[in-house]
Amino acid sequence: MAAEAGTEGYPSSNLTWKILHDARKGNYAVGAYNCYNDDGILATIRAAERKKSPAIIQLFPWTLHFQGPEFVRYAVARAHAATVPVAVHLDHCMEKADVELALTLPLDSIMVDASGLDPEMNIKYCREIAQRATKLGITVEAEMGRIEGSEDGLKDLEMEGLLTDPDFARDFVEKTGVQFLAPSFGNVHGPYPPGGAEKYWDLDRLAAISKAVGPGVPIVLHGTHPVSDELFHKAIECGVVKINLNRNVRDDYTAFVNLNWSKNELTRLKEKAVEVYTASIERAMDMLGSSNKISLG
């Protein structure tokens, strides 16, 4: 049975659910670290274990197509073998075929991205998937409103129509039964226009959305590059619990590989690169406040 808005009725055996609700109660956020290969998976797990932090390994449908379902099963097996809670989430499932495949895999959670549909169709589709996923022990994140990097040039009036309405947010989660909500409050995927996130984020709207859906529905932040530590902290104060991180933690790793690929044997390059990646994630965990939240004793 799907959890209702404002409740905590979903089984705590679901790692994403447990990780995010513990974070909500503890007033910190947990990073969902985008992983494109085994290096990212290793780095996330090692950082989580070193920092005694919960973490979420975040994959994309690209992984399903390029590396196949077996890679997803591998990621889940590695994550669930960690000494701290590490969940695996599949982000931005926009194609129905990807959603169907995801529901056959041992994922902890998926994001159903039907935000390109009209509001009523979005609700109908998300409700259908949430009902099926919940029976399989998979939690569901959904997006309300839509702002993409390609829409940087939108006028304020046009942008307003794509933002999440706090009054509608509560209605959305109640009608769909989704467990996590990714609202649109001025955040964009990809680089921000001049003025950056500080100019475009409507934190009052974000806080109102969080209040409207209640503590039972953790808020997810998309569009985080580049964002200052101070702005991340303000978002957490507004109720954000899951923060998606991509280039924030990946750029040092890719730069290291680019500079050192010809100077090291592949095995040594991989060892060094994963350590650079791990250090970036450790810094993010400290910044989000998730470090030292897991007792190993």
Distance CA 201, CA 205 (A): 9
- Residues 6 or more apart whose Cβ sits within 8 Å of residue 103: 110, 129, 132, 133, 136, 138
Element (H, E) at 6: none
Which residues are known catalytic residues?
91
Distance CA 31, CA 277 (A): 14
Nearest CA-CA partner of 195 in 235, 239, 227, 238 = 227
What is the token pair recorded at 238? Answer: 């507004």
Nearest CA-CA partner of 178 in 126, 244, 137 = 126
Asked if 198 and 231 touch (Cβ cutoff 8 Å), the reply is yes
Distance CA 22, CA 52 (A): 14
Helical ranges in the chain per DSSP H = 15-26, 38-51, 61-66, 69-80, 96-102, 119-135, 156-160, 166-176, 196-200, 203-213, 229-237, 247-260, 266-288
Distance CA 117, CA 137 (A): 26
Nearest CA-CA partner of 185 in 217, 209, 167 = 209
Asked if 22 and 151 touch (Cβ cutoff 8 Å), the reply is no
